Amino acid sequence: MNCKRAMEISAGGLSGSLNDSEKAELSGHLEECASCRKEAELLSKAWQALELYEAPALGDKFVDALMAKLRAGQAEEQASGFNPFALSPDTRAALAGWWKVPAMTLASFAVYVLCVETGLMPARQFSVPAARSSGSPLSNIFSEGPAAGGGNLLTMLEGADK
Amino acid sequence: MTEDPDQDARLMLRFIAGEESCFIELVKTHKQRVFAFAYRFLGNAADAEDAAQEVFIKVYNARNKYTVKAKFTTWLFTITRNTCLNFLAKRGHRGLFVPLDEKPEAQEDAPGLQLADPKDLPPAELLIRKEQAEAVKKALASLPENQRTAVLLCRYDELSYEAIAEVMGCSAKAVKSILHRAKLGLKEKLAELFQ
Ligand SMILES: [Zn+2]
């Protein structure tokens, strides 16, 4: 057995899973190798020393305090009154983000309209150019702007596209 | 720990069926282990007691998610570890290490605690033990979280590699490797105790 394997067994706490010949091999190595012997001894002492770190004992008050907290939680739920639309916690969690769906849809639509209006995206399927000619407030901002304004940019891009 | 491991599962099933006394029995059986894990993980008694309370409140509220397939203690320690991780996150950069000197103040905030009376030990020995305990606490606190969890579950709760793996969500082989590194780390940090 080499030093690496001896240390693996010592630090891995694997000595319990070794067969008799492996155990004999390990103790043989530790007997003749002072360095591994010292390491194994330190490993074992450090592991033993963990028992010095004791946790204090919990008394029965712990259970009383816990049950009081649980009762207070239940009382709070009951005090909020009977609600025929009351939802289970799982359903509440599932519905918690319901508003995100319409919000994201609206936001995406707003971004699309803005892109079309500013000329970052050519409008093909929607009749946005018609809306512009009819003088929607958004298109007015651009069509009344300087020569490099969004309306001109849109026309240039549309031209380049063709 | 309950002597019959299936006893926990039976109590849990009776609790799910509506017998609250079974929940109280489970709390009484496991409160010390849960608290001790949290105490060594978080490094102070007040936080550990709060965490232990939170663990059992979660057990109470999540009773319908318990399946007999999972061993009760494995499930309980998974909740305990996650709760302790949340406490650490909430605590942020305040860090883990609270010297043992601060223990009495912390325990005033933790009414559920009963301290073992240390008066039976001679003062010199008491001092040495306190210093050694402090060194162990520091060494544990300095380990990465996964190593600390594995050490606590292996050394103090005597969980199998497989059970630790289940709590930590990794393989038993990974647990062995984590423990190997943890032991080498502890040896380095505690070596001066044995000089
Ligand atoms: Zn060697």
What band does B195 get if pLDDT is binned at 50, 70 and 90? confident
Residue B5 has pLDDT above 50, yes or no: yes
Residue B149: band (very low, low, confident or very high) from pLDDT cuts 50, 70, 90: very high
pLDDT, average across residues B136-140:
95
| Burial classification of residue B146, based on how many CB atoms lie within 10 Å of its CB (0-12 exposed, 13-18 middle, 19 or more buried) | middle
The position carrying tokens 């946005």 is A128
Q: Do A50 and B140 touch (CB under 8 A)?
A: yes
Residue A34, both tokens? 């002072």
What is the rounded CA–CA span in Å between residue B87 and residue B53? 12
pLDDT band with cut points at 50, 70 and 90 for residue B16: very high
Of the listed ranges A93-107, B79-93, B96-110, the one predicted with least confidence: B96-110
The reported pLDDT for the residue numbered B8 is 93
Q: Where are the alpha helices (DSSP H) in A84-127?
A: 89-95, 100-118
Distance from the CA of A2 to the center of ligand 1, in angstroms?
Answer: 6
* Mean pLDDT calculated for residue range B152-168: 95
Question: What integer is the mean pLDDT of A6-29?
Answer: 78
Percent of chain B at pLDDT > 90 equals 66
Query: Tell me, what's the pLDDT at A59?
Result: 78
Q: Using CA atoms, how far apart are residues B187 and A106, in angstroms rounded to an integer? A: 60
Q: How far is residue A20's CA from residue A4's CA, in Å, rounded to a whole number?
A: 20
The answer to whether residue B136 scores a pLDDT higher than 60 is yes
Nearest-Cα residue of chain B relative to residue A64:
B112
Which pLDDT does position A79 carry in this prediction?
A: 80
* pLDDT higher than threshold 80 for residue A87: no
B31/A52 Cβ within 8 A: no
CA distances in angstroms from A136 to A10, A130, A142, A156, B131, listed in the order given = 80, 9, 10, 20, 79
Whether pLDDT at B89 is above 50: yes
* DSSP code of residue B153: I
Rounded to the nearest 5°, which phi and psi values hold at B158?
Answer: 50, 40
Residue position matching structure tokens 């059992």:
B56
pLDDT at B172 over 80: yes
Lowest mean pLDDT among A2-6, A149-153, B130-134: A149-153
- What are the beta bridge partners of residue B114? A57
Domain boundaries, chain A: 3-50, 109-161
| CATH number of the domain bearing residue B145 | 1.10.1740.10
Task: Pick A69's closest partner by Cβ from B24, B57, B193.
Answer: B57
Whether residue A113 has pLDDT greater than 60:
yes
Q: Do B52 and A54 touch (CB under 8 A)?
A: no
- State yes or no: pLDDT of A135 exceeds 90: no
**Nearest in space to B46 (alpha carbons), one of B54, B167, B139:** B54
Stretch among A73-87, B31-45, B72-86 having the lowest mean pLDDT: A73-87
Q: Which residue has the tokens 């043992």?
A: B100
Instruction: Please tell me the total count of domains within chain B.
Output: 1
Residue B136's domain spans which residues?
7-190
Nearest CB to A62; choose among B112, B133, B190: B112
pLDDT at B13 (0 to 100): 92
Cα–ligand 1 centroid distance for A31 (angstroms): 9
Per-residue pLDDT at A15 exceeds 70: no
State residue A20's pLDDT score.
Answer: 82
Domain membership flag for residue B195: no
pLDDT at A101: 66
Global pTM reads: 0.69
In tens, the pLDDT along A99-112 reads 666 677 777 777 77
Residue B65 lies in a domain: yes
What pLDDT does residue A132 have? 42
Report the distance separating Cα A52 and Cα B163, nearest Å: 25
Confidence label for B106 from pLDDT (cuts 50, 70 and 90): very low
* Chain B residues touching A46 at Cβ < 8 A: 139, 183, 186-187, 189-191, 193-194
* pLDDT at residue number B103: 44
pLDDT at A145 exceeding the cut of 50 = no
pLDDT of the residue at A13: 64
pLDDT confidence of residue B96: 54
| Residue B155 included in any domain | yes
* A5-14, A71-80, B38-47, B82-91: least confident range: A5-14
Helix (H), strand (E) counts: chain B: 9, 1
Contacts of B32 in chain A (CB under 8 A): 55, 57-58
